[in-house]
Structures are given as structure tokens and as C-alpha cells.
Amino acid sequence: MSNLKDHLLTAAESKVFAEYYELSNYKEINSRRPVDSPDSKTYSIDLNILKEYIALIETEMHKKGIINKGIKVTMGKYPQKSDDVKIRPEYLGYQTIFFSAIDLGNIEMKTNNITSLLEDDAEDIPDMNYMNITPPF
């Protein structure tokens, strides 16, 4: 798929994805958390910051000669305790996502359909996180 139209979801399609997540992974995650403290489910970031990040990684990948530029979204979790001033204290212990530059030319599909990196020429380009998560907010 090489054009944007091939990647877009309708609101109805998005709702199906969200409902499947809610009934499976999210249900399982929250079965191990206090009832009054469900894990995060949505993540948002200011569009201008996202555009700046895309411009940064595009420039850095260009300098490295990476042709098949991409962005990888990875699940993560904030630690229970941290001295990192960029992490909001109310986010400690919640799952999050972060973005990374990725050379799509160096991805191989394994036989079990898990995507892995062979060598990632983009790994020294900064990743991006520290966005808004809901819950808790």
C-alpha cells in the first residue's frame, strides 16, 4: 500500500478495533490493576510536536542514507518510581507508547509473523514520548 487512502480507517472500523482491544488485551491488563485505576488506553500529542519529530527523524535518516523511512510505535510502561522530570508523577505505572525512527528496508518477517529488526541504522536517532495518556487524564 503506497497511498494514504489505503491506510485510512472509517470511524466504524476504528470502533471495531477499539472494542476488540477493550474486550481482550485491555480486559486482561486491568484484571491485574486496582479497579479504580484502569491502565491507559489512549495517547495524544500536540500535532506541531509530532510534525517536528517527523521532520527531525526524516532529516537524520536522510543523513544516514536511509531510503525506506518509517516510524515504529512501541508499547511501553512508565516505571512505578522515577526521578525523570519529564515523566508526570500521575503517569507512573501506566502503559504508554513511544515513537522511533525505523529503516523499513531492514525489516524481516519471521515465520511466526513477528516483525523484527535485522540491523537498525536508525537506532541512534532519538525516540519520542512524554505525551498525554488517558486514563489517568
Question: Which residue in the block uniquely carries the three cell numbers 488506553?
Answer: 41
* pLDDT for residue 117 is more than 60: no
Is 109 strand, coil or helix? strand
How many C-beta atoms surround the C-beta of residue 103 within 10 A? 23
The DSSP bridge partners found for residue 133 are: 43
Residues 17-39: pLDDT tens digits?
999 999 999 999 999 999 999 99
pTM: 0.84
Task: Look at residues 23, 46, 45, 41 and name the one whose alpha carbon lies nearest to residue 136.
Answer: 41
Residue-level pLDDT at 108: 54
Chain length of the chain: 137
Residue-level pLDDT at 123: 86
Q: pLDDT category, 70, cuts 50, 70, 90? A: very high
In the chain, what are the domain boundaries? 1-32, 42-134
